[in-house]
Structure 1
Amino acid sequence: MKCYCNSGKEFEQCCEPFLLNKKTPDTAEKLMRSRYSAFVTANINYLLNTHHKTTRPTKDRKNILKWTKSVVWQRLEVIKSQQGTPIDLEGFVEFKAFYLENGKLEFIHENSRFVKEDNLWYYISGTHH
């Protein structure tokens, strides 16, 4: 099965090891892609654990889970990645995530900011377009 993140790779070789906590993403883009796959699979623990502690929406856990299960995820398009390499401490990934909600195609267009602490990447915030 191809990975949900639209990388073209098999899920087992792409995002699944991250979602199962067998590997950690070494770039901001890999983290962003794995977070998309976590939304598709409703892996709320992964979403919260990869969200930086200063902006983590822990009180919204039930609402996030309810929303991720209420939509049908369609595809991810990565538009641009800046920095976020294994040697960086900060990175930005612009993307569009398409989903069906109430039968209507919608999308999130975001420029996400990621930071690396203790050699782990975290989502910290995003600007919507």
Structure 2
Amino acid sequence: MHGPKALLQALTEVWHPGSPAIRLLARLDADVVSADHPGKFRIARLHRVHEHLLEHCFTALAEQGLLREGTDPAFAGRAMLALILNHAARERTVRAMQNVDHADSPTEDLHRLAGLFLAPGAAALSRPAA
């Protein structure tokens, strides 16, 4: 299954910003900013693998006519991974300092971003049945 529901499920289960694997990727990704970091190329490759997987998801949606017209699947994949990694860091910093719920769940944000990339009719396909 390669529809909008499958993408949202993967964003919740595979790429959840609070998962240990994604938190580790975010940490390593931040560490390799230094030009002389010994793991720079390995982490860059891992980062690119995640971008490619997300791009593949968006390409499959585009092939089904479910991606918003003019949306580049590669850009959508990069943007989605950027938000995932941002939220992985944010969950341990900003959210920890908040005293009240701001209704800004990382999963909801990922779903919102995915919705912006989906064609108008495809967004309805991703909602659970009432």
With the length of structure 2 as denominator, give the TM-score of the two structures: 0.30
Structure showing the higher helix proportion among its residues: 2
Which one has the bigger strand percentage?
A: 1
Higher-RCO chain (CA-CA 8 Å, sequence separation at least 6) = 2
Rg comparison, structure with higher value: 2
TM-score normalised to structure 1 length? 0.30
